[in-house]
Amino acid sequence: MFSKYKRNKIASADINMTPMIDIVFQLLIFFMITSTFIQTASISVNLPESSTSDAVQEQLNTVTIHKDGAMEWNEESIDAEQLASRLQSLQQSDPNAVLVIQGDEGIAYGALISVMDKARAAGLTRLSLATVLR
């Protein structure tokens, strides 16, 4: 007699995935669009070419040596004394920091060795030379 009034409701355990998929696709589109806005710093030197270079993700500690002997630290003009102090402070803040040296292909070999010597004297052991992949 009571079975007539008894409701047979079964709880549904389904999860609607449509909103989550919509959000994931929107995030994917957002990151695809914004990643095209990221621009690398323009280099005013002609880097030498290499067929075996490795890709560097982000270059936070770069020394650029121009053909005329002028130097830049992260796109800021510096002289040899300022370079030595910046290298020393870099080593003190991060002993495992990578120093990327961007030298114009027309610079004197001695200018490159001078920057490398200053970096080693400051205690930096992870040096990288920037090239353009052929």
> Residues 1-21: pLDDT tens digits?
555 555 666 666 778 889 999
Token pair in block for residue 99: 């120093």
> Residues 66-89: pLDDT tens digits?
888 888 888 888 888 888 899 999
Give the residue-averaged pLDDT of 50-59: 60
User: Under CATH, what is the fold of the domain 49-133?
Assistant: Nucleotidyltransferase; domain 5 (3.30.420)
99: left (phi over 0), alpha (psi -120 to 50) or beta: beta
Residue indicated by tokens 């292909």 = 105
Instruction: Identify the pLDDT of residue 27.
Output: 94
Which amino acid, 86?
R
Token pair in block for residue 38: 């990221």
Q: Report if pTM > 0.85.
A: no
Q: How far is CA 86 from CA 6, 21, 45, 51, 64, in A?
A: 81, 48, 21, 31, 14
- Ordered by start, the domain boundaries in the chain are 49-133
